[in-house]
Amino acid sequence: MPELPEVETVVRGLRAPLVGRTITAASYDYPGGLVRPDGPIFTGRIAGQPIRAVNRRGKYVVITLDPDTLIIHLKMTGRLYVAPDDDVRYADRWVHFTFQLDNAHQLRFSDARKFGRVYLIDDPAEVLGALGPEPLDDALTFDAFCACLARRSRALKPLLLNQAVLAGIGNIYADEALFLARLHPLRRASTLSPDELAALYGAIRQVLADGIRREGASVNWYRKPDGTKGSAQTGLNVYGRAGEPCLRCGTPITRIVVGQRGTHLCPACQTL
């Protein structure tokens, strides 16, 4: 599933072709992906709304219209891209939502496994209100980060995946941050020392910033809006490297299951 760096890259790639345009019509062939409103209301309501901004919140693409907000979650296989009306793309075979623009272009939402979700709402807080702070926001100081983890007894890996604690972190970057901080995924948050909290805080920000700089990790379905791959997958230390030597100490990387999620670690660098 695309995480913060991937969604941020998508958002940055969509701003130029979308901001200032107007959605003149919308169509879809998979009602299950439309969370609200109901289909007939959706197509009538969105037509004629100008696009004011394209941003990200957690793993959500947030497109500010006037007066509504279009929110899209890519889930596992979602791709968003803008193409001329008559342009045919490889990913078009899985397009289930099309947003017609006023310049003979379309915003297309391709989603092979149909897990993606689309919302058209007047109050973004209905969808985004329960999300935790942004890990790269200046407002998330070290003290604020410690407050997020204070008195929590859960293991670190599922805690980092909890979007109500921190917004945008998923499987890849949780594994990478824990490796960088030398913390075992099963360590309880409440057992971390101040130095370990500082290491984790810095590691989270470092791996996410690096993921954005590399324009996301194309380990599965994720592609940038122009159809090309990101390069973050070439710099991963542990994720997807089970059985390969640790780049730090040479010990084979291990894959375990934590909270029903495949989890990668170095058993020598990340002792429990």
What is the distance between the alpha carbons of residues 22 and 9, in angstroms, rounded to a whole number?
Answer: 22
Alpha-carbon gap, residue 162 to 37, rounded angstroms: 27
Q: b/e for 55-85, b at 16 or more Cβ within 10 A?
A: bbbbbbbbbbbeebbbbbbbbebbbbbbbee
From 32, 37, 29, 94, select the one nearest 68 (Cα to Cα): 37
Helix (H) or strand (E) holding 22: strand 22-28
Q: To which residue do tokens 């696009």 refer?
A: 51
- C-alpha 162/C-alpha 155 separation (Å) is 11
Catalytic residues: 2-3, 59, 261
Place of tokens 């640790």: 246
